[in-house]
Amino acid sequence: MSVLLSVLVGVLAAYVLIYYSLFKGARCKSNVTLKGKTAIVTGSNTGIGKTTALDLAKRGARVILACRNKQKAEAAVYDIRKESGNPEVLYMHLDLASLTSVRGFAETFLKSEPRLDLLINNAVCVAFSLGLIASGRTEDGFGMVFGVNHLGHFLLTLLLLDRLKQTEHSRVVNVSALLHRLGSVDFNLLNTLKDLVTGQSYWHAFRAYCHSKLCNVLFTRELANRLEGTSVTCYCLHPGVIATEIGRNMGVLQKLFSVPMSKLFFLDPEGGAQTTLYCALQEGLEPLSGRYFSSCALQNVSAHGRDDALAKKLWEVSERLCGL
């Protein structure tokens, strides 16, 4: 019995060591306060977006939750106000799958808010999860993953860019992913199918996600080039593998396997928000504008992600697709 107990204790100790050294991730240690500053966080009604918004609210920021689902967003506003003690948290409707909605959000924000210090493009369309596929098209006919993860955020950022420039030392933070390394951009497909993949299978959905995350990296790189000489800087990041609502659309058998594994080995929303917060708050990052971070540290990107010509072409094509 004592031998078995020793083994169990050893296994538990090994797990704790591995979890906190490899999976728990680094922490943002910035003590910056944000009183008088304004932040937008897209997709902030749940998961790492909500955790990010909560942290910014605790620091005194005026935080705009830019979300599609009104009911969930209003519930998140209530939670964040209560926990942070900050009444300057509010919801504005934003559906990134609709360019009309993006324009409407930007118009509403610019009319009602005199400054913008932080734009955190956090919302993400994953479109695949253990065999489940959420396929479809945006309101404007683009592939859902490409439209939400890249094009909607691209247009949102450009529409708010002048307000960002008017605010000293403002930042844009784009949440990408490690899987950008598997991505590529086929402009022929964009021109003909308004998407970066040709089908709706699980494999196509996975590829679409990888491609869209590369677009985030390329967008950040070109944005930094175009912002040179201004007080606005931008960063992209891999948040880690996050356990957020992983079992929401799964069957019972899938949950029995996946949910315990996610709780054991994946980051919780607080852990997953740390690199976003680091890019938004850490002092002295300005010389690294356009770069990619993970675990609160500078990281390298794929060869495609370093291609300035590809980044510039994606920008130009995205402008055309958005009707700019």
Beta strands 292-294; 297-299: pairing state: antiparallel
* 245: three-class secondary structure by DSSP: coil
* 225: three-class secondary structure by DSSP: helix
The upper half-sphere exposure of residue 241, i.e. CA atoms within 13 Å in the direction of its Cβ, equals 10
Cα pseudo-dihedral 159, 34, 50, 205, rounded to 10: 40
Instruction: Quote the CA–CA distance of 105 and 118 in Å, as a whole number.
Output: 16
Given 209, 235, 278, 292, which residue is catalytic?
A: 209
Identify the DSSP state of 264: H
209 is a catalytic site residue:
yes
Instruction: Quote the CA–CA distance of 178 and 302 in Å, as a whole number.
Output: 9
* 237: three-class secondary structure by DSSP: strand
Please list the active-site residues.
209
